[in-house]
Structure 1
Amino acid sequence: MDEDLLSRMTVREATHGDYQAVMNMASLDTFRDGFDYLPAKFHGFVDDHDTVFLLVELDGEVVFLDVQALRDGGESFAPRTMRMAKTLQGRGFSKTFTSATRIRSVAKFIEMSGQQPKTLHVLRDTERHDLKRLDNDLPFKTKSVINIMYFCWDATPIKDQLSDAQMSLPALVPYQPNEIHRLLPPAFSAAVLSEGLFLVDWDPYKLSEPNMKKLVEAGCYILVDSNVPAAKSLSFGGSYMTPRGRVYHIDIHCKDEALCKAHITNHVMNACSLFTGMITFCVMVTEKELKDVVVTFCVQYLHFKHLPHDHAYTHDELDFENFWMAKPVSKAKY
């Protein structure tokens, strides 16, 4: 590392008072095509006891942020977002900043949970080759490929059409704690999930009762089908404001076409009951075969406008425990 750079650099935890400095730095109008969740989630990141939100200052100015979340009681962690000031992009600072914040994050995670995380989960845009170069020397394994599609729609009209769709599609029920017995059996995970992992608003979780409880308490709208003894589908929904307006994310885990349509319809109905005006629906599917099903259903049946912002991501996993054995965590000096 450049010693001059290190002498000018400070790594610290973000506070609520950093909001404006972070917004000024974070490229809100271009990140995720303008559908940036950071303004809506900033204060939640600061307050979340399972999240480490770090800032890098260079000569006293915020130039980099790194948000990491602890998962599964300390067994794993996952990045929430990283940003760097535009003036420093392309100048070789990324690895220096990332290394500094990652060491600090892992040390904090050990302090929080009493153990070193065993696994690192990362979602990586298949088109962002610049980000892959940051860690192309790490032995990541791809667990799955997910597709995310964007549609916009005015929530006020056409509610009758949604009701008609509900009547012709499989029945779904809002998740209740007693439904966990239909999700935990291996029959569900083996058939629907990638090694027992699911994704909610870009974030990976292990299917467990504590994780489901946490998502319920966070206000996530969760739907499951009525099949017994094991369910065949699961979905998660939620909403936040972005610079381009309201986004409602729909994260669908299933392989059945009719169930996929049912989850979309029920989440759109929920969005209509909560909001008026234009909504952008961000629909995620973990089955490649369902991508065309979603587009056809949303455009031809629901008459949504398909936006040109679709992305494919790989869900990659690193055996962090073995990788880090040769690199023991020391106290950060920044």
Structure 2
Amino acid sequence: MKLEVAFTLDSGPNADAELEFMVASEKEFEEIMAMSEGIYGGMDYLPSRYHSWIKEPDRTVVLVKKDGEVIGLQSVCIVDGGETALMEGLRVAPWERGKGVARVLQQFCAELVRQRHPGVKVARLTRDDKLGPKDFLKYRVITKQAILLMKFNARDFSLRLRDIVAALRGSNRLPPALLLEKSEVPAVVLDPVFIRKVLPGQTIIQDWQPFQPLASNLALLLKKELRWMVDSRADPLVATVCSPPFPIPKGQDWVYLNVDVFGQDFSRIQSQLLAHLQNRIQTLEGNVMCELFLVPELWEAMAQFCTCVLKVELAKDYTEQYLLEYDI
């Protein structure tokens, strides 16, 4: 379906081109996947989310076409009780990069939000690339997290993980790691003290998606098969959220696992990470890319723990995830 929005195309290489903006549908899936080949180092989440995204009532997946061919995509999801537009999945076809397509697509999506969702005040997005001077003029940095990406073979890791956990428990080095029932999550996550002291930037960042700690957002998150863990139900210092594994384009037997960490107590983070890995590894075969998000100050210690104790390989050096915001 073509999107009709009053919009003036900025000057640039595509200013005189016949660009069309469309709502994504099932029929464009293969074309989009072909355009996205190799994106995010083989860890693209879109193949696993595309079919559900195009059915979500508060989300519009916008395509830009040139001469009938898809050359770009960005998703717009309305969250935070209708006050925030979450921008996700931005990509441009390799042969159109460097021509301003991403900028035009972002401008179009912002105008789409203004005209269709007048209650939206800001747009938010997450990025893992380095920010330049122009970015700081455009965006407000809400918070940043360190990214630790490790990889391992599920079967090999499963065999040694059991012994690692047993040894740490035997030395009394593992604080409690409590799995929350879905019904218990709101009381913990929506507590004002938890929001202020534990959440990074007072924001729930789950698998690259930022949400304000609101009941409406939590209702969305609780529909997912997430595992929420804390060190204490009454007064948690650390909470972690682990997403279900999903296949990634890196290879036929590769899956991606995401663990978001809230809090700064290293031993409690270790304990919860091990509990998540023990649970998820039971159903996995093949190879795993596991991405952990935590405060930057703990990256080096966690990297040493993963390589020296867990005996897994780091897939890349230190990088950061930025939560950015700009006015609509």
> Within the alignment, does 1:214 sit opposite 2:215 as a pair?
no
Give the structure 2 partner of residue 160 of structure 1. Answer: 162
Contact (CA 8 Å) 2:61, 2:75: kept in 1 or not? yes
Q: For residue 193 of structure 1, what is the amino acid of its counterpart?
A: L
After superposition, where does 1:52-201 map in structure 2 within 5 Å?
A: 52-108=60-116, 110=117, 115-127=118-130, 129=132, 133=134, 137-138=137-138, 140-156=139-155, 157-164=159-166, 167=169, 168-176=173-181, 177-201=183-207
For the structure 1 residues 76 and 101, does the alpha-carbon distance in structure 2 shift closer, same or farther, using more than 3 Å as the test? closer
For the structure 1 residues 21 and 117, does the alpha-carbon distance in structure 2 shift closer, same or farther, using more than 3 Å as the test? same
Contact (CA 8 Å) 1:197, 1:204: kept in 2 or not? yes
> Within the alignment, does 1:18 sit opposite 2:28 as a pair?
yes
Shift of 1:261: 0.5
Cα deviation code 1:73-128 (max 9, x no counterpart): 211122111111111111233322321233224434x1xxxx52122222233426
For the structure 1 residues 165 and 272, does the alpha-carbon distance in structure 2 shift closer, same or farther, using more than 3 Å as the test? farther
TM-score scaled to structure 2, two decimals? 0.86
Alpha-carbon distance in structure 2 between the residues aligned to 1:171 and 1:307: 29
Calculate the aligned-residue CA RMSD, in Å. Answer: 2.3
Contact (CA 8 Å) 2:164, 2:309: kept in 1 or not? no
The alignment partner of 2:282 has SS state of helix
The alignment partner of 1:271 has SS state of helix
For the structure 1 residues 91 and 182, does the alpha-carbon distance in structure 2 shift closer, same or farther, using more than 3 Å as the test? closer
For the structure 1 residues 106 and 25, does the alpha-carbon distance in structure 2 shift closer, same or farther, using more than 3 Å as the test? farther
Alpha-carbon distance in structure 2 between the residues aligned to 1:71 and 1:162: 41
Contact (CA 8 Å) 1:148, 1:311: kept in 2 or not? yes
Alpha-carbon distance in structure 2 between the residues aligned to 1:260 and 1:53: 35
Q: Which range moves more in the overlay, 181-190 or 51-60?
A: 181-190
Matched residues, percent identical? 19
Shift of 1:211: 2.5
For the structure 1 residues 6 and 102, does the alpha-carbon distance in structure 2 shift closer, same or farther, using more than 3 Å as the test? farther
The answer for unaligned runs of 5 or more in structure 1 is 325-334
The alignment partner of 2:130 has SS state of coil
Alpha-carbon distance in structure 1 between the residues aligned to 2:78 and 2:68: 28
Shift of 1:202: 0.6
For the structure 1 residues 184 and 25, does the alpha-carbon distance in structure 2 shift closer, same or farther, using more than 3 Å as the test? same
Contact (CA 8 Å) 1:52, 1:105: kept in 2 or not? no
Alpha-carbon distance in structure 2 between the residues aligned to 1:248 and 1:122: 20
The alignment partner of 2:225 has SS state of coil
Alpha-carbon distance in structure 2 between the residues aligned to 1:309 and 1:40: 26
Alpha-carbon distance in structure 1 between the residues aligned to 2:51 and 2:151: 27
Q: Which range moves more in the overlay, 58-67 or 162-171?
A: 162-171
Give the structure 2 partner of residue 305 of structure 1. Answer: 313
Alpha-carbon distance in structure 2 between the residues aligned to 1:165 and 1:43: 43
Alpha-carbon distance in structure 2 between the residues aligned to 1:309 and 1:55: 33
For the structure 1 residues 225 and 6, does the alpha-carbon distance in structure 2 shift closer, same or farther, using more than 3 Å as the test? farther
Cα deviation code 1:280-301 (max 9, x no counterpart): 111111x111111211111111
Contact (CA 8 Å) 2:255, 2:287: kept in 1 or not? yes
Q: For residue 145 of structure 2, what is the amino acid of its counterpart?
A: I
The alignment partner of 1:158 has SS state of helix
Alpha-carbon distance in structure 2 between the residues aligned to 1:217 and 1:12: 28
Aligned length: 307
Q: For residue 155 of structure 1, what is the amino acid of its counterpart?
A: A
The answer for unaligned runs of 5 or more in structure 2 is 1-9
Alpha-carbon distance in structure 1 between the residues aligned to 2:44 and 2:185: 33
The alignment partner of 1:214 has SS state of helix
Alpha-carbon distance in structure 1 between the residues aligned to 2:281 and 2:287: 10
Q: Which range moves more in the overlay, 237-246 or 118-127?
A: 118-127
Alpha-carbon distance in structure 1 between the residues aligned to 2:77 and 2:308: 38
Shift of 1:7: 6.2
Give the counterpart of 1:249 among 243, 258, 265: 258
